Amino acid sequence: MTATADVATVLKEKFPQITGRESLDWPAFNVPGDQAPAVLQCLRDECAFDLLVDVTAVDWGVGQSPRFTVVWHLLSTTRHTYVRVAAACADDAKPSMPSVTGLWPGANWHERETYDMFGIVFTGHPDLRRILMWEGYPYFPLRKEFPLAGLDTSLPDPEVADETGARVKPAPYMGGPFVAAPGGPMDEAEPRAKDQSWTERQEKPS
């Protein structure tokens, strides 16, 4: 099977609504969102694209419709070729897309990151929680309206904030650089700051 023509033939025979997507490197296709899991399963089972490399999204900007597009990158570990699949979210205000964790368990964290950064809900995900920002964070940092400099936001963690949420304390393990002891069990090799004085002060009983 060639990288482009035969994959396109297989997909278009099964999914007539698929169209080619402009790409400078690997074959790429636009698919309807509700057909995305079936298309991806076909690529996995019939075209040997066995590894899900990435799940991400594109925000085309406020006022664009469709505004959000979810993108999957697949690799065939036997044929050493990639394919890119993209599907537009139908609802710009509450974007969603079916989860593919049933096809690739590794999609779990990819989908959580995409949800965290873009606010796209993956329906059917077994545990859709934020993975980088904390629960309750009111923004989605990779949306176009989010400023590059970030937004001042109260921090809920008492380790680095006072009762008002203002950041008034240095972060735990202050005093880097951070080093890890070579060898030994991994659970005992967590990097620690060379200067432990701040941490030791926090651990002393008041």
49-106 pLDDT per residue, tens: 999 999 999 999 999 999 999 999 999 999 999 999 999 999 999 999 999 999 999 9
Structural domain includes residue 10 = yes
Structural domain includes residue 200 = yes
Q: Among candidates 144, 107, 146, which has minimal Cα distance to 128?
A: 107
Whether 29 contacts 86, CB under 8 Å: yes
In this predicted structure, what is the pLDDT of residue 184? 64
Structural domain includes residue 148 = no
Range of the domain at 196: 168-206
Task: Provide the domain count of the chain.
Answer: 2
Mean pLDDT of 164-190: 56
Mean pLDDT of 115-123: 97
The answer on pLDDT for 1 being more than 50 is no
Tokens 């400099």 belong to: 149
CATH of the domain at 61: 3.30.460.80
In this predicted structure, what is the pLDDT of residue 24? 82
In this predicted structure, what is the pLDDT of residue 202? 58
Mean pLDDT rounded to a whole number for the chain: 83
Structural domain includes residue 199 = yes
